[in-house]
A and B are shown apart, each in its own frame.
Chain A
């Protein structure tokens, strides 16, 4: 398997590894993040993990809770406009997290995000995606899913789509706060879903969203 991405210099790759490990330690120190593998085993199979999105810390958190051998082959799909804004972000996003950067801006984008996503899958990488598209600020557990998850499931039907519910992050780091609170964060991985032959987009996305919401920990009381 050849890596089509540009080969970066050794010190840069080393720096990216060190920053990555430091972020994992920080996430573990503050939130004791724990992966609960309820529906799948933690093995390095190719998968698309799709998760709920409430905070900017979501992606680092799910990345940090994956075991090292899975983390190394897993690439988060993230917004290019966010991760290329400053030189620091451009280092952390593409190099530390090894993000697949996509253009969120529907008008005026030159490349269809699906091309980059399918390219990454064809390299053998697993992906992390947030199908809601934006951070969920409301009281509903999930925003309506965008079509991306369905398109991926149809284009690469052999890849498992694994729901991952991230609990508590909206309290650990709500929008607008700088200091994360030390609270326990759990990421629950559920049983994989696939697009059934002939299944339409609406049905599939509803089913995928239901599979994700079903992973919410029961013991967390519903806050009015």
Chain B
């Protein structure tokens, strides 16, 4: 990695850490203002979330600084953790044991190997074509027809969402920057920041000002919140335009696109959680539920962001 790229990563990390420090201080001040011995559940929830963000920021910063292997390992683990949560609630029977084990222990690592080797052709068709055809065969060989299509469809959906989509985040490393530099790693930082901040703006604006719900049966998300999230992400994206090859207007548009994909992705997950009767996918990230709860947005945004980047700036 060139020193300029490392330097820019450090500037971004310092900026994000500054924001987190400010949020931590705000939380501590709110805590200190309460009478001795009392706690406010709202403040405590906020602080647990801030603590989880600290963890995520530190992990992502270290992975980005360590380069390709670190990023591949981080996102492969995120895929594994997400798949573990998804499969826990997926429809499955004894006959699917081998195909599910193959999905988690063979297909998942192979996908990241292909991404790491830069075999773009293979990593974009491996799960949608080969896993799609192979795993139902493995399940069928065990001969249990009970809800067969539901089982294989849910398994495939899990692999697409948790492995295929998430692997598009480190796949951004294979994007050749127009100026030939190694700054494609900064696209990962850009994507994660704009999607997460779009989601946060949507959450807080939607909560305080939102009136018109976009899908009342699924989620409290409102039109106002979504619009604010997309516009907010666009503004943040424009501010971060200097780390991308998109130019300022292009960066704003890409950020808005990624945030929109992410917000609607969260809506899709709200529908799945309602269907399965799940509140949080797990309890692994304090204050935020599971890995999947945290990754909704990035999951939907990553492939779109990856392809539009290659299409327009490739």
- A residues touching B (Cβ–Cβ < 8 Å)? 30-32, 34, 168, 171, 174, 177, 179, 181-184, 219, 221
Contacts and interface: CB of A to CB of B under 8 A. Distances in A.
A219 B80 CA distance: 22
Which 3 A-B pairs rank lowest in CB-CB distance, beginning with the nearest?
A182-B84, A184-B88, A179-B101
A182 B278 contact: no
A183 B88 CA distance: 5
A199 B284 CA distance: 42
B81 interface: yes
B279 A32 contact: no
Given A182-B80, A183-B84, A221-B277, A177 B282 contact: no
A61 to B, nearest CB: 14
Contacts of B98: 179
Interface residues of B, number: 22
Q: For the complex, would chain B's binding face be called helix, strand, loop or mixed by DSSP majority? A: helix
B88 A179 contact: no
A32 B282 contact: yes
Interface of B: 80-81, 83-85, 87-88, 92, 94, 97-98, 100-101, 104-105, 276-279, 282-284
A184 B98 CA distance: 17
Contacts of A184: 84-85, 88, 282
A149 to B, nearest CB: 30
Contacts of B101: 179, 181
A182 B104 CA distance: 7
A182 B76 CA distance: 14
Contacts of A34: 282-283
Contacts of B87: 181-183
Q: For the complex, would chain A's binding face be called helix, strand, loop or mixed by DSSP majority? A: loop
Given A34-B283, A181-B97, A171 B85 contact: no
Given A34-B283, A219-B277, A219-B279, A174 B97 contact: yes
Nearest to B80: A182
Nearest to A34: B283
Given A182-B83, A183-B88, A184-B84, A219 B97 contact: no
Given A32-B81, A171-B92, A219-B279, A181 B284 contact: no
27 contacts: A30-B84, A31-B84, A32-B81, A32-B84, A32-B284, A34-B283, A168-B88, A174-B97, A177-B97, A179-B97, A179-B98, A179-B101, A179-B105, A181-B100, A181-B101, A181-B104, A182-B80, A183-B87, A183-B88, A184-B85, A184-B88, A219-B276, A219-B277, A219-B278, A219-B279, A221-B276, A221-B277
A168 B89 CA distance: 10
A184 B81 CA distance: 9
Nearest to A180: B101
A34 B88 CA distance: 14
B267 to A, nearest CB: 21
